[in-house]
Amino acid sequence: DAKTTQPNSMESNEEEPVHLPCNHSTISGTDYIHWYRQLPSQGPEYVIHGLTSNVNNRMASLAIAEDRKSSTLILHRATLRDAAVYYCILYNTNAGKSTFGDGTTLTVKP
Amino acid sequence: KAGVTQTPRYLIKTRGQQVTLSCSPISGHRSVSWYQQTPGQGLQFLFEYFSETQRNKGNFPGRFSGRQFSNSRSEMNVSTLELGDSALYLCASSLDGQPYNEQFFGPGTRLTVL
């Protein structure tokens, strides 16, 4: 299975943009890149996903490198409620299962 | 639309016992996946069910099993519990389990094995 690598932790100031990186150098052509986040004592929450092109939704933007070996989740204006563990996941079309990375713990400072 | 529900939320068992966890997916969703989350191993994929059939399986021993009913509700069973099975068990539902659709996670069942 293709694996993802994320920094263990990152800090951000409130109302500033946050760029969360993810490396997936062994990604296959059928792997979708998903991002989820998890708050304490809750199940993961879907954030965004993409295959090749950059994606935007109301929560965040996803920038995918041209060679697809890395991606960046962008939170445009971090709020205290964005403090969570962010997981970058490869979801394979053929195998149909998700491979979770270790996640990045995002701390947002007021 | 109601979210994914899991029962029970908390469970305490002793070694050697077996346990059954339940997951009700979002209405209309036909795919249910199960994950185990522990501090040491993180989030690991257990298996996925779609239309009552196990479609994918992670690297877990045969003590971990599951099934899905015609209404898409799913159960997972762990037999001969070991201390290392203590974990948060998460269920996620998806429209069809395809990677171009998102997964919706339940709150999890916290299993403690004594």
Per mean pLDDT, which range of A25-29, A80-84, B62-66, B83-87 is the poorest?
A25-29
State mean pLDDT over A63-84: 96
pLDDT the model gives residue A94: 61
Task: Give me Rg for the CA atoms of chain B.
Answer: 13
DSSP state of A5: B
- Please tell me whether the peptide bond between B8 and the residue prior to it is cis, using omega within 30 degrees of 0: yes
- The whole-angstrom separation of Cα B99 and Cα B104 is 13
Q: Residue B62 burial by CB count (10 A; 0-12/13-18/19+): exposed, middle or buried?
A: exposed
For residues B19-39, one letter each, b for 16 or more C-beta atoms within 10 angstroms of the residue's C-beta and e for the rest, the string is bebebbbbeebbbbbbbbbee
pLDDT the model gives residue A97: 65
pLDDT the model gives residue A99: 65
pLDDT the model gives residue A85: 96
State mean pLDDT over A23-42: 91
State mean pLDDT over A25-37: 91
- The whole-angstrom separation of Cα A38 and Cα A10 is 15
pLDDT digits (tens, 9 = 90+) for B30-44: 999 999 999 888 889
Per mean pLDDT, which range of A11-25, B8-22, B38-52, B68-82 is the poorest?
B38-52
Is there a contact between A34 and B92 if contact means CB atoms under 8 Å apart? no
pLDDT the model gives residue A74: 97
Cα–Cα–Cα angle for B96, B102, B105, rounded to 5 degrees: 95
Q: Which residues of A touch B33 (CB under 8 A)?
A: 97-98
State mean pLDDT over A50-74: 95
pLDDT digits (tens, 9 = 90+) for B54-110: 988 888 999 999 999 999 999 999 999 999 999 999 999 999 888 888 999 999 999
- The whole-angstrom separation of Cα B99 and Cα B94 is 9
Bigger pLDDT: A59 or B82? B82
DSSP state of A29: T
Q: Which residues of A touch B93 (CB under 8 A)?
A: none
Is there a contact between B102 and A31 if contact means CB atoms under 8 Å apart? no
Nearest to A7 by CA among A20, A16, A17: A20
pLDDT the model gives residue B41: 81
Of B48, B99, B105, the CB nearest to A43: B105
Beta-strand pair B53-57/B87-94: unpaired
Tokens 């196990």 -> residue: B54
pLDDT class of B1 with cuts at 50, 70, 90:
low
